[in-house]
Structure 1
């Protein structure tokens, strides 16, 4: 079984989706599937420094990188245009049994779906939340035109739409797409326990050994609702805590967040750490007391999954798809999307540290049992095989 995965960028600055695709392909390889990625060397304002138009091993994954057309106009760069990619795709697509396309509204993905239809090669599309209501409302006119003129035809021609949650399925159903769909969550590579993470994190940040730490770890983007989280924390004047923001985004938006912190009065209780990865990321997740993500829309929430796997209880809002799992399994709290409700949930967690820790211990065990990549990859291989054999989709929920 030969599977080609196509995504516009696998750069870390593009958020959790890029990392998830790398881990998915790595897990598929471990399960015996010949899986490769074709992508563009796009890295936001920059380009990845990688060999081009040849197969290279990148993060232990075989990847073909192609050069992005990079004019000064940002609106054009965002489409990840790459003529060499188009040429390579037209010459090599026939070598694969199935194509797995990740995301929409970029030229590599759009052309891959169109060419696969033309060549009668089956393809699956992972939507990664891009057709959820909140996402479609951003740059709404451009997306609606793109969707109705081009992507609807591509989506309806797919052998399966990969959704991450029932919440995403509910929102997608309103679009009336003809293609079948299946729900399969992201997986996770479980990190080893970091020795004495609680004390080491506070030593690194020069904080008292008993300082409560609230962690926001995600890409800085307006949909993450961090301004509401800041205003909620500002209501907790009677509580002792340090707020950590680990993530990066557009520099202008980062400045807006900094200004919001200062105006809210919690600037002196907050550390903006920037983009964090590797051992320091593990240290943050395992050494903090509480994870908070008050997102307007999160079709899954990889950062939430990472926090739960680290044994870190979570406060998330209903727009985060994993909120239902958190409520059902009692792995944290799910307040409504308003400042008072969020503040009350965080206060409750801070005032009940033993109960909160129990939720965290339960969270790690639950994730280990249900969300590792080997389990997800096994389900995905079953779906690929059914499509290639022209059989009904297993795990189908539509």
Structure 2
């Protein structure tokens, strides 16, 4: 392969201070936007704790709403300088037709463009998070103009499965500006080897670093012995396969009505009403909880035994990592691109089929010792490979090499 798996090069050095600008669609508390936001928050805050100077240029989006924040100034948050630039919608968004519903490709953030054109901060590195964002083309242009190293991270959006969703818009964006932004990058960051190949399928020849997502480790908690509880915690979107899980819950209910299914997450695609109707029709024991965060989310993860995600495509699922960290066995599909689950004994990779999920859940309900063993293996997998401290080491190493192409003299961090 022609890309570098950074996990083999994790290092423990003291690095020179780097001035980093991150661009993204959102920043905390925009949790409805999904995985890229907590990923960026964790990376930015840890880099700031390590003494680096970190800026985040985000928008005021929170998926289905706007954040109530002062968009005219920079905010200091846990050592990170953050600004929420206001989104400006094109006039055709007012057309009452699904073809014109919101998508990232059409977001415009002219105040960010104007600020960046006049920026005098002298950044050492600019790192764009998430593909098909307005900020990417302007961040790339800034880096071409100033000679600043540019890092581009798509977060899985170039998976062929995702490119088939609204394909014309994505083809147009790739053709007109997004591929040029990617081609500008000193380094493309992929979450998995599969995502690295997605870059190559677009004809991009840049160096690629494979750096996974990480997760904070909560205190270890023993799961209770009550009814088996299965959790879906993600955006309600057809690509996430929540419809498959509702159907599976209906099959399970006919065999064991005590098994509980919890569905939590923002209704991004407007499908919750149909899912509720289908759950009632098939007698599924499903509870819909809406968006959850904070202590409520923690309790859900602590109280659940299994985590379910029948996904078509993931970059590297933060939801799965959080479930593993909380000792949940994971049942997912090949689209999660999480091959380590089965060898580690932490979960199963299943066909995206209601019967496959139902049969596996029923078998596990009859073998609670196996469920407990999966939970322990899940926690161990995260402790060994996916702590944020380890992952941020990889980013710190990448930025240092981009800023100082000649290997610097380093002191071992003890």
TM-score, normalised with respect to structure 1: 0.90
- Which of 366, 374, 383 is equivalent to 2:381? 366
The answer to whether 1:3 aligns with 2:20 is: yes
- Whether 1:20 and 2:47 are equivalent positions in the alignment is no
CA offsets 1:112-169 (integer angstroms, 9 cap, x no match): 1122222221110111011011111111011011112211111111011111112222
Moved more, 240-249 or 332-341: 332-341
Kindly report the root-mean-square deviation, in angstroms, between the aligned alpha carbons of the 2 structures.
2.0
Partner of 2:203: 176
Q: 1:311·1:364 contact (CA, 8 Å) conserved in 2? A: yes
User: Could you say which residue in structure 2 is the equivalent of 1:262?
Assistant: 280
What is the alpha-carbon distance in structure 2 between the residues aligned to residue 93 and residue 350 of structure 1? 60
Deviation at 1:358, TM superposition (A): 0.8
* Offset at residue 174 of structure 1 (A): 1.9
Q: What secondary structure, in the 3-state scheme, does the structure 2 residue paired with 1:47 have? A: coil
Q: Map residues 296-375 of structure 1 onto 2, 5 A cutoff.
A: 296-322=312-338, 324-375=339-390
1:282 paired residue number: 298
Alignment of 1:161-200 (within 5 A): 161-193=188-220, 198=224
Q: Secondary structure at the residue paired with 1:27?
A: helix
- Aligned to 2:271, the other structure's residue is in SS state helix
Partner of 1:203: none
TM-score (norm 2): 0.86
Match for residue 392 of structure 2 among 373, 377, 395:
377
Task: Quote the residue 2:271 is aligned against.
Answer: 253
The answer to whether the 8 A contact 2:26-2:60 is kept is yes
What is the CA-CA distance between 1:72 and the residue it aligns to?
Answer: 6.3
2:164 aligned with 1:137, yes or no? yes
Query: Is 2:238 the counterpart of 1:222?
Result: yes
Equivalent residue for 2:229, pick from 213, 216, 229: 213
Equivalence for 2:148: 121
Q: How much has 1:335 moved relative to structure 2? A: 1.2
1:310 Cα offset (Å): 0.5
Alpha-carbon contact 1:125-1:161 (below 8 Å) kept: yes
Number of residues paired by the alignment? 378
What's the offset of the Cα at 1:197? 6.7
Confirm or deny that 1:294 pairs with 2:313: no
On the 8 A contact 2:71/2:85 being kept in 1, the answer is yes
Cα–Cα, structure 1 residues 192 and 120, in superposed 2: closer, same or farther, change >3 Å? same
Change (3 A) 1:168 1:222: same
Kindly indicate whether structure 1 or structure 2 has the higher relative contact order, using CA contacts under 8 Å at least 6 residues apart.
2
